[in-house]
Amino acid sequence: MHLLTNPRMRYAWGSVDLLPTLLGEAPDGRPVAEIWMGAHPAAPSLLDVDGRPERLDAFVARHPGQALGARADDGGEDEGDDGDDAGDDAGERAGMHSARLPFLLKLLAAGEPLSLQVHPDGAQAAAGHRRENAAGIALTDPRRSYPDDSPKPEMVYALTSFELLCGFAPVDRVRALLTGLAVTELQPLVDALRSPDPAVAIESAVTRLLTAARPQQRDLVRAVARVATARRDDRREYALVGDLATRFPDDVGIVATLFLNQLRIEPGESVFIGAGTIHSYVSGLGLELMAPSDNVLRAGLTAKHVDVRELLRLVDFTPRLPQRLRPTADDGAVVFRPPGPGFALWTSCRAPTGAAAGPAEPVAVPGPASGPRIAVACAGRATLARGDERLELAPGQSAFIPDSDGPLEISTTGTTAVAFCP
């Protein structure tokens, strides 16, 4: 078991206080958006090996069998998303990503909404990566949408109340939101929703919105923002539009949010986001578990590169409810297993004890027994144990447990999570 030192990402959308508070630090007024726990080559965790720091990606590459166990035999590849396999590129991809940790775990603190975005499936990622390579777009170019050839399925587990936008809402709800604003400029979008096929109706309206001429988009956004702000107490969707208008003035993504499911999940709840699902995290503290990819297509609510044409080609326009993950009991803990990806999240939460009963000692429960694992103390302290070895984690600290360490037991005074390969 190895204690990790993890990089912090100070993206502009991050919260100034959620992660510092978790870590027991005084906020310095700057946003802290994410803490990465994993072996992503752009920002790997460091672990202590015989008294010296080593990058986790380098450790896994040098000791694939020890770190990954059976996963080393398939190059540490995840199983991808709901999409098709990459066909002839499968062998090439396995070679490129040999001996890599198949997941990336993040503590994520959203103080402002992230961009409206979509991730590709495996085949789309491989084709997009080849296409941008052939076009001579550098991997570090901000116009790059496919810096790698891997899918990016992800799940989010709430540590506080967590708000997000996820997938397209039913057509009737979208129509009611648009007509309820009584904004003349919205009528063409309402008219575009008339198809009896819900996916076709949403595709027609959203395509019209995102591909309109810039002056037309600007006038529409300003009209919608003005009315929604005045009526923010009527619907939470209108309140969000009003809030976004102050942060992203004239951004067409503001109007696009009226087409999406607006969802709040509470601590201990989780949502899976597969390929083609348009989404944005709005606010809150959570754990994000994902494949280690950077492939993102953005539609708005960002100053970064936006590729509307490619996003419209990949996005799933079918209205559907967000995919909430239902946990299964696992010997004193619960496990969230998303469909498709080769990762899962084990969690143990110590229930609050009544004042009359007094504090009780945390009970050790078996954690995931094999494969590469990353454990993080999300609230309170955690103790990881294997045989006579103990590793204590303070809130926000994490550890890498290689496959060779075998079974372990975990006790916690709050909430502890472990990312692993099922």
Torsion angle (degrees, nearest 10) of CA 34, 18, 13, 317: 80
- Active-site residue, selected from the candidate residues 93, 144, 298, 373: 298
Query: What is the DSSP secondary-structure string of 229-284?
Result: HHTTTT-HHHHHHHHHHHHSTT-THHHHGGGEEEEEE-TT-EEEE-TT--EEEEEE
117: annotated binding-site residue? yes
Nearest residue to 270 (alpha-carbon basis) of 103, 156, 347, 134: 156
Distance CA 301, CA 231 (A): 21
- Residue 176 CA, distance from chain mean position: 29
What is the CB-side half-sphere exposure of residue 378 using CA atoms within 13 A? 28
Residue 305 known to bind ligand: no
154 marked as part of a ligand binding site: yes
Is residue 155 within 8 Å of residue 336, measured between CB atoms? yes
- Cα–Cα distance for residue pair 421/71, rounded to 1 Å: 8
25 secondary structure, DSSP code: -
Output b/e per residue, 15-31; b: 16+ Cβ within 10 A. Answer: bbbbbbbbbeeeeeeeb
**Active-site annotation holds for 298:** yes
- For residue 121, the SS3 value is coil
Q: Using DSSP, how many helices (H) and how many strands (E) does the chain show?
A: 12, 24
Mapping DSSP to helix (H, G, I), strand (E, B) and coil, where does residue 146 land?
coil
Q: Find out whether 155 and 289 touch, Cβ atoms under 8 Å.
A: yes
Residues 6+ apart with CB under 8 A from 414: 349, 350, 377, 378, 379, 380, 381, 382, 395
Query: Does the annotation list 119 as a binding residue?
Result: yes
Residue 299 in 3-state DSSP?
strand
- Going by the annotation, the residues of the binding site for Zn(2+) are 117, 119, 154, 279
Catalytic residue set:
298
